[in-house]
Amino acid sequence: MSITEVRTEPRTPAVKRKRRPHLRRNLPGYLMLAPFLALFAAFLVWPLLNSLYLAFTDFNGIKPPNFVGFDNFERLWTDDARFRKALGNTSLYVVFSVGLTTLLALALALAFRTTSLRDKTMRTIFFLPSVTSSMALFLIWGWIFDIEDFGLANTVLSWFGGGSVAWLSTPELAVPILVFISVWGGAGYGMIIFVAGLNAIPEELYEQAEIDGASPWRKFWHITLPLLRPVTTYVLITSLIGAFQVFEAVYIVFRTTASNVGGVLDSALMIVPYLYDMGFGKFELGFASAIAWTLFIVIFIVSTVQLRLTRTLKDL
């Protein structure tokens, strides 16, 4: 139903309409809308505008803010090594986490899509991290990647003859570990969406292809994948946005390895942990607001490019 159709909807006779003014007639509507709108304006719209303003000031939470123009953005984009590190880590993390999660989710959905007991059990197993307290999961991972020989990761390594690894304090391993944790935790969620997408594809298409003698691979390539495209786009975009906002994993898993957020040599530093560190560790609220808006710009650009790409692929 389109918006215009809804618009003409209260079909009260014209005479009656004239007698009762718009506001009085629709007062209940405005009253029902008011609580949401008031809170929405107070805790979302106003804060967003306010943070845009703060991004151009030197606000530190105590002294009144001074307008400093583009200073924060200039400092952030041109000579902030920590931010460059955070941006680099986040980009790597996003690419691998989103890519691997989506691929694994699709593979799982293709393998376990029926309502048989086996498939249901497997789906439940892979979905379990999505319904477990995320804080608990990160604490478990921190304990698994313990530096000592009795950590689970080191024990498994020793079965294959490997020596102990100081997992969390090895800078080269920080982003791969975070990617691993996120794929482990996120694939089951994407799988559920893919299963729904797969089951929505009409069975007749496959039967038709079968009659035409199409191989399973061709069926997958020419029927399944194209028809899954909207679902794939949805999974990609949502996990992309989620991946850019990673905070808890970094904060909890790598907290023990260094005194500041971000682990040894900032090897696990990402954009939101950096925002937290600057905003609530060092109380540079103006500068942190600039980080927040940069995050928005980055997410906006990447998801727009991604949507464009999908559209172009569709036209091919």
Q: Which of residues 270-299 bind other proteins (CB under 8 A)?
A: 272, 275-276, 279-280, 285, 288-289, 292-293, 295-296, 299
For other proteins, the binding residues in 91-150 under the rule CB under 8 A are: 104, 107-108, 111-112, 122, 124-129, 131-137, 139-144, 146, 148-150
Q: Is 188 exposed, middle or buried (0-12, 13-18, 19+ CB in 10 A)?
A: buried
- Report the nearest approach of other proteins to the CB of residue 234 (Å): 6
Query: Which is nearer to other proteins, 92 or 192 (by Cβ)?
Result: 192
Instruction: Please report how close the Cβ of residue 29 comes to other proteins at its closest, in angstroms.
Output: 4
262 binds other proteins (CB under 8 A): no
Token look-up 């400093």 returns 68
Q: Which of 16, 18, 36, 117 binds other proteins (CB under 8 A)?
A: 36
Selected range binding other proteins among 23-31, 77-85, 87-95, 220-228, rule: CB under 8 A: 23-31
Return the residue of 18, 24, 28, 259 that touches other proteins, per CB under 8 A. Answer: 28
| 261 residue type, one letter | V
Comparison of 254 and 266: residue with beta carbon closer to other proteins:
254
Using the minimum distance from each CB to other proteins, give the nearer residue, 71 or 248: 248
What are the φ and ψ backbone dihedral angles of 67, each rounded to 5 degrees?
-70, 130
Show contacts with other proteins in window 201-260 (CB under 8 A). 216, 230-231, 234-235, 241, 244-245, 247-248, 251-252, 255-256
Number of residues that bind other proteins (CB under 8 A): 100
Q: In the set 19, 20, 21, 61, which binds other proteins (CB under 8 A)?
A: 61
Provide the 3-class DSSP secondary structure of residue 263: coil
Minimal distance in Å, beta carbon 263 to other proteins?
13
Q: Which CB atom, from 58 or from 316, has the smaller least distance to other proteins?
A: 58
Cβ proximity to other proteins: between 4 and 316 the closer is: 4
Q: Using CB under 8 A, which residues numbered 142 to 201 contact other proteins?
A: 142-144, 146, 148-150, 152, 155, 158, 184, 188-189, 192-193, 195-197, 200
In the list 21, 29, 171, 202, the residue contacting other proteins (rule: CB under 8 A) is: 29
